[in-house]
Amino acid sequence: MKFERFTQRGKVMLFGVFIYEGVEPVDLATFGVLSMARRIQPDIRICTIAPNQCAVAFSNGLIVHADYGVEDAPALDVLIVTGGPGWVQQAQDEATLKFMRDRSASTIITSVCTGAMILAASGVLDGKIATTKKEVVEPEYPPLKTMQEAYADIDVRTSSIIDNGTVITGGGVTLCIDTTLHLLEKLYGKETAAETARIMEYTVARDANAHALPPIIQKAQNDRQDFG
């Protein structure tokens, strides 16, 4: 799998954020981080993609209108798969799973929170190291344990971020912010990520999360790709 150099100045880079009924609203912080990053890298573009192009009801009432459905979504540089209670239905939706498999062949694909459970069901995480949401309120069952028990072909670990090169998984809930900042660092360099964190007033939190839950970066897989 060969990818062009993403960090070329002036190149418009399109990030697609995959949403669906039952997404946890906090996971839309992925969009927020990219929005803030546009102050530093104005060539960033963002769109939302859902199973269908329509109004999407998030968990607890937020309504977001998707720009595209999976059938008409444009070519992307990066696909970010959000999480939330609705992951259970999406992990059984063949159109969604096919979309993940198809896009993983030519796109950097990233999950935040339980978005990783959708990727796991699609087979995209087979043979890779991955993480997902760990902390829950009873009687919920930890998605991290579900992944460990249900997917023998995935090396499941607790981490803030696991980077396999073109497939990245992030930990739960607000770690979606750290995962998106990691994408910015991967594609645009440390300065862009650090400056974005600074203007978000997130530098201290980012450092603390990296210390408590060290990211796992698969150097060999990253070295085989030219991200700049």
CA 60/CA 98 separation, integer angstroms: 28
Q: Kindly indicate the confidence band of residue 4, based on its pLDDT and cuts at 50, 70 and 90.
A: very low
Q: Is residue 164 over pLDDT 50?
A: yes
DSSP 74: P
CA 113/CA 115 separation, integer angstroms: 5
- The pTM (predicted TM-score) of the whole model is 0.94
pLDDT for 178-194, tens place per residue? 999 999 999 999 999 99
Higher pLDDT, residue 94 or 224? 94
Tell me the CA distances in angstroms from 131 to 23, 62, 115, 152, one per residue in order: 18, 26, 10, 14
Tell me the CA distances in angstroms from 104 to 64, 80, 113, 139, one per residue in order: 25, 11, 18, 34
pLDDT for 75-131, tens place per residue? 999 999 999 999 999 999 999 999 999 999 999 999 999 999 999 999 999 999 999
Q: Which CATH superfamily is domain 13-206 in?
A: Class I glutamine amidotransferase (GATase) domain (3.40.50.880)
- Mean per-residue pLDDT for 31-58? 98
